Structures are given as C-alpha cells and as structure tokens.
Amino acid sequence: MKRLLPAAAVFLVALCLRPAITAVGPVLPQVGVGVGLGESALGLLGALPLLAFAVVSPQIHRASGRLGMERAVLVALLVLAVGAVVRSWTGVVGLWVGTVIIGCAISVGNVLVPAIVKRDYAANMSRATGSYTAFLTVAAATASAVAVPIADAVDWRLALGVWGLPALVVAAAWAPRARSVPEREPIRTTGDVAVWRQPRAWWITAFMGLQSTSFYVLVTWLPTIEVANGVPERTAGVHLFVFQGMGIVGGLAIPLLLNGWPRLGAVMASLPMVLAVTGLLLTPHLAVLWAAIAGIGQGAALVTALTLISLGGTTDAATTRLSGMAQSFGYLLAAAGPVAAGVLAERTGGWRSALVMVIALGLVQVVAGAAAGRSREQVLRS
C-alpha cells in the first residue's frame, strides 16, 4: 500500500498534463468565431503552450531546488487550474494570458515527473514511465474526443475550462505528498554548464525534440490531411483519436526493450512513425491503419525519451537539469513543426512535402536514438 499510493499520485498528475492542450484543436473553429480570430492567430494560439514549455523548462530546476519537486508540482497543478479559468472566462486577452499560464504550469510536470520517477522507481524505471505515459495518453485522447460534444452542448468555453477541475482534484490528492518530501538538493549553477557540455545530453535532446515534432505535426494536421484525401471530417476525427489512443500500446510495450537494450529500444521506437507516414503518403486510403501505427510509434517514442532522460543523470538535480534542457529545445522544435508543415502545404498546394518532412525527421530520430541510447554507465554527472 505504501508503494501504491505514491505511484497513483504520479499517474494522477499525468492525467492533468495534456487535456488542456489536446482539447483545443477540435474546437479551434468555434474559438475563432467566438472571439473573432483568424487562422493565423489561431495557429499561434495553438503553438503558445509549446513555446511556454521551451522558455520555462530550463528554469524549473531552480524552482524545484527551492521548493522541492513535490511542492513545485503542487503549485503547478493549482496554477494550471487558474490558467484554465482565465483562458475560458476572462475575454480575448484572458484567452492569450490563460494559454501562456497553462503552458508554464504543464512544463513543470513535464520536467519534474521524470526526475520523480527516477528517484522513486529506479529499479523499474522503464515500466513506471510506460504506465505514467499510458495515463498521459488516455487523458489526451479523451480530451480530444469530448471537446466537440461539450462545445456543441454548451459552448467552447466550458469545453476548455472544464479541465481546470481535474487539476484541483489532483492537487488535493498530491498535497499530502508535498507535505512529506525528501530533503532538497542545494542549487548549483555549475551543473547547468556541465549538462550543456555533454554530447549525450544533446543526443537525448535531439531525440526528445524530433519525436515531439512528429507528434504535434500529426495532432495538428492529420485530420486536415485526411480530409484533403477525401476522408469525411467526422471519420478523420476518429482517426485522430485512434492515433492518440494507440500510444498506450506503444508506451506499455517499449519498456520490454528499454530495460535491457536501451539503444535498440530507441531505434525501434522511431521506426513506426517513419513507416506510418510513408504509408500515408503512398496509400492514403489505409489512413486508419497508418494512424494506428503512428500512434504506437509516438507512444513508444515518448516513453523512450522520458526513460533516456531519467537514465541520463546520476542525481535528482542532474536529471532535472537534463529534463529542462531536453524539453526546452524539444518543444521549441515541436512548436515550429506544425507551422513549417502548414507553410509547406500552402506553398506547394498539398501535403506531400509536409509528410516527406516528417519522414526525414523520423530518420534523423533513428540516428539520435541510437546515439542517445548508449549503455547506462555513460550518464551525466552534473
């Protein structure tokens, strides 16, 4: 029981880290009509959380050094709830401000949870990360699926604002853990330099960024690509749910490889996305199959990225710094990916060039995974 309760708390946090983002895409047209924003502004609105991840992530280890990781997560959950309310019910300015607040709050969980998993579940790190990611994926897919029904029944504001409530509930469940935390590590600024000088840290960062980019390109544009190929809008929405939901399968399966062969696991986690996007390019009438395979790949790749981060530091502080570095650059690249795909589609009049871009990124991810997944003895000691 003592082991189960902390594990459940980590999984509950996972339920809060994606819905406030993945609920947005399906209701973007209604948001645009409601507040008078065009497609360019809506595209920027969708990218704001990722940009917030990139800016805030490198600074999180300082806050966690002062507060402790558990207390920092508790504060982030409360801020996330506030951000959801601000975004939905305080006008146009609040829409932008609330989105930034949400991105900043979620970035704390993104960075600190891998360090918490490493500290508490070192003996079963890959399995714990896979389970955590499964909860992350379930919540993300559910938010995408229910956003439009809620918006149609009430309005888009409730469809987005409702995700502040789970954050409050989880904050209440997390609070006892925040009151009994391990002794905090002292803040050392020299560790930042040491991490940035490590070649393996850059390979891990590259892997994190590349898998994030492919995921967010498809989350943003897969329904549009399928509609352009003749798939009905409602069916394309179901395929997006399949894409996100199948991440559970990949996330739970890949630890079997990562536990013994991290390099092989990183390579194998990268290949399904390459296969799926190639299939979507060549045989678009099999879209649901390619969505499922891509989903398996993105789930496996996310677990691999988080596991590599956890394996990459010998201390909580080193892992937190590496996590901040990897997620900062990773989400900066991820924010650019959907924009680049849209520009390519606009300039070429179709989605072929954008899909080729994702395939190329996937091949580079294979190389980055092979380099980042070196033996566990080659770790960062900042």
DSSP state of 325: H
Determine the Cα angle at 280 with ends 44 and 244, to 5°.
Answer: 55
The CATH number assigned to the domain holding 236 equals 1.20.1250.20
- Asked if residue 377 is part of any domain, the answer here is no
Task: Please check whether residue 380 lies inside any domain of the structure.
Answer: no
CA angle 205, 206, 210 (to 5 degrees): 120
Inside any domain, residue 381: no
End-to-end CA distance of the chain: 34
Q: Is residue 382 part of a domain?
A: no
- pLDDT of the residue at 357: 96
Asked whether residue 160 is assigned to any structural domain, the reply reads yes
Predicted pLDDT of residue 377: 44
| Contact between residue 81 and residue 165 where contact means Cβ atoms under 8 Å apart | yes
Q: What is the pLDDT of residue 130?
A: 74
Low-confidence ranges of the chain (pLDDT < 70): 1-7, 39-40, 122, 126, 180-196, 312-316, 375-382
Cα 228 to Cα 159: distance, rounded to the nearest angstrom: 27
Query: What pLDDT is stored for residue 194 in this prediction?
Result: 65
The pLDDT score that the predictor gives to residue 120 is 76
Q: Identify the pLDDT of residue 380.
A: 52
Is residue 262 in a domain? yes
CA distances from 152 to 155, 156, 240, 343 (A): 6, 8, 19, 31
For residues 49 and 331, give the distance between their C-alpha atoms in angstroms, rounded to a whole number: 9
Tell me, yes or no, whether 184 lies in a domain. yes
* Domain membership of residue 169 as a residue range: 4-372
Mention every residue, 6+ apart, whose C-beta is less than 8 A from residue 132. 10, 11, 14, 113, 117, 306
Domain count, the chain: 1
Q: CB neighbours of 348 closer than 8 A, spacing ≥ 6?
A: none
pLDDT at 94: 94
